[in-house]
């Protein structure tokens, strides 16, 4: 087990002890969890934070003056402050809590999109997008008479920036792209994309679901207008996430939903809306999971993003080299700049069959189109097998996967 200790400044073996779910057998084999692009496993600190909230100070927030309500409110707002620092927002009020990246994108579509995008305007997205960064803009375009333009994907899984430049015009009102592809791992040059979009007066939304736990995020340096993210892809709970937005934009956008907390004053004649961020946080939020999200952010910070990234990149390069030795295997999206995602097909074998047979050996991967059907059509494939790595994964686990793949190919061909 020499490969799981003190690598790239971290002790992977010690980190693994913080993830109780990893210590189990699946189909009689030790679990190797390679489905991290779908969701990370959770460290004990996150699990304990949830337990402590529900066991010790469960209460609704912002409304009560009693001790439990004040304690819950402080813990909830501490997460907002921590997340603001994590992505370097100018102020905590620019952080809106949502159910996750999908709702964050829908919030912008339903508010900014419907108010500021009109008939004849254009929205630019990319061929790498998850369905959640396609469908909301289609809804806005259908409702307002706008047009969707798409940045092409090159053969290596990167965006065609030259073609993107040709799409930009005075008609462009919004550019919505992901920071990194969930299907291929490609890291997009969002700093360049943002700068080019701003030259024509367009606003930019970045889907950061895949990037937030892996890359340094500085929304002020990027100068993005919106940044959407999910907790569960950052070692945090499911069902919560956030939208970052520049204050002036959030203040100009109408409310997303009506209800409690998002108001200052209500009468039957007129309602006065609350200040940001509360204007966009109607109803009782997912309090416990938001509070536990802070523990996940603290975990990442304590281990160190640069250490995590170095370890994950080592795993990716190791897996790539080994995978290319398998007969008939083709990597889809082989950019030089990517996250720890190995997406591949094997000639003559359906990805689903590979996924099932890997699971029989205790190895969890994702198969299918990964909610990126247009991208699969671009490569003329039904889907891929996707192995995605996290800080707690090891080369020993990768060796098990590669050995299993060799056996699967030999058996099915």
Locate 392 and state its tokens.
């707690």
Task: From the candidates 215, 360, 371, 381, give the one annotated as an active-site residue.
Answer: 371
Three-state DSSP string of 69-125: HHHHHHHHHHHHHHHHHHCCCCCHHHEEEECCHHHHHHHHHHHHHHHHCCCCCEEEE
CB count within 10 Å of CB 227 equals 28
Indicate the helix (H) or strand (E) that contains 389: none
Strand ranges of the sheet holding 203-207, from the earlier edge strand across to the other edge: 95-98, 241-245, 226-230, 203-207, 172-178, 122-126, 147-151
Indicate the helix (H) or strand (E) that contains 228: strand 226-230
Distance CA 260, CA 264 (A): 9
CB count within 10 Å of CB 81 equals 14
3-state secondary structure of 250: helix
Is the Cα dihedral 27, 33, 38, 42 positive or negative?
positive
Is 234 among the residues known to form the active site?
Answer: no
109: nearest Cα among 137, 147, 144:
137
* DSSP per-residue letters across 28-43: TEE-EE-BTTT-----
Indicate the helix (H) or strand (E) that contains 217: none
Residue 293: HSE in the Cβ half-sphere, 13 Å Cα cutoff: 34
Q: With DSSP H G I counted as helix, E B as strand and the rest as coil, what are the percentages for the chain, rounded to 5? A: 45, 20, 40
- Residue 237 region by backbone torsions, left for phi larger than 0, else alpha for psi between -120 and 50, else beta: beta
Indicate the helix (H) or strand (E) that contains 58: none
Distance CA 230, CA 12 (A): 24
Catalytic residues: 371
């Amino acid at each position: 087990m020499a490969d799981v200790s003190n690598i790239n400044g971290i002790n992977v073996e010690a980190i693994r002890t913080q993830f109780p779910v990893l210590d189990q057998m699946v189909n009689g084999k030790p679990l190797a969890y390679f489905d991290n692009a779908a969701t990370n496993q959770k460290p004990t600190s996150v699990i304990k934070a949830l337990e402590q909230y529900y066991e010790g100070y469960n209460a609704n927030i912002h409304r009560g003056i009693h001790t439990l309500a004040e304690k819950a409110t402080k813990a909830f707002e501490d997460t907002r402050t921590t997340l603001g620092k994590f992505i370097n927002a100018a102020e905590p009020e620019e952080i809106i809590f949502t159910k996750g990246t999908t709702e964050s994108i829908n919030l912008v579509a339903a508010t900014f999109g419907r108010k500021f995008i009109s008939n004849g305007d254009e929205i630019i997205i990319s061929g790498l997008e998850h369905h959640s960064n396609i469908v909301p803009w289609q809804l806005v375009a259908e409702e307002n008479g706008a047009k969707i333009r798409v940045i092409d994907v090159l053969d290596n899984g990167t965006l065609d920036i030259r073609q993107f430049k040709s799409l930009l015009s005075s008609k462009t009102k919004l550019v919505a792209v992901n920071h990194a592809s969930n299907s291929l791992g490609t890291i997009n040059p969002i700093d360049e994309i943002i700068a080019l979009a701003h030259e024509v007066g367009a606003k930019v939304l970045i889907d950061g679901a895949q990037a937030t736990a892996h890359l340094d995020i500085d929304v002020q340096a990027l100068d993005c207008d919106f940044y959407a993210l999910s907790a569960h892809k950052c070692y945090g709970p499911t069902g919560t996430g956030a939208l970052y937005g520049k204050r002036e934009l959030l203040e100009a956008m109408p409310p997303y939903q009506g209800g409690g907390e998002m108001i200052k004053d209500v009468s039957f004649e007129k309602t006065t809306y609350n200040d940001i961020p509360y204007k966009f946080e109607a109803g009782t939020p997912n309090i416990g999971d938001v509070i536990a999200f802070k523990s996940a952010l603290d975990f990442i910070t304590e281990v160190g993003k640069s250490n995590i990234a170095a370890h994950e990149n080592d795993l990716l390069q190791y897996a790539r080299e080994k995978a290319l030795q398998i007969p008939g295997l083709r990597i889809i999206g082989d950019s030089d700049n990517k996250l720890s995602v190995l997406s591949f097909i094997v000639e003559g074998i359906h990805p689903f069959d590979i996924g099932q047979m890997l699971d029989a050996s205790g190895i969890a991967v994702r198969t299918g189109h990964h909610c990126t059907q247009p991208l699969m059509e671009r490569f003329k494939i039904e889907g891929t097998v996707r192995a995605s790595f996290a800080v707690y994964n090891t080369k020993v686990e990768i060796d098990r996967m590669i050995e299993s793949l060799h056996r699967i190919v030999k058996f099915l061909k």
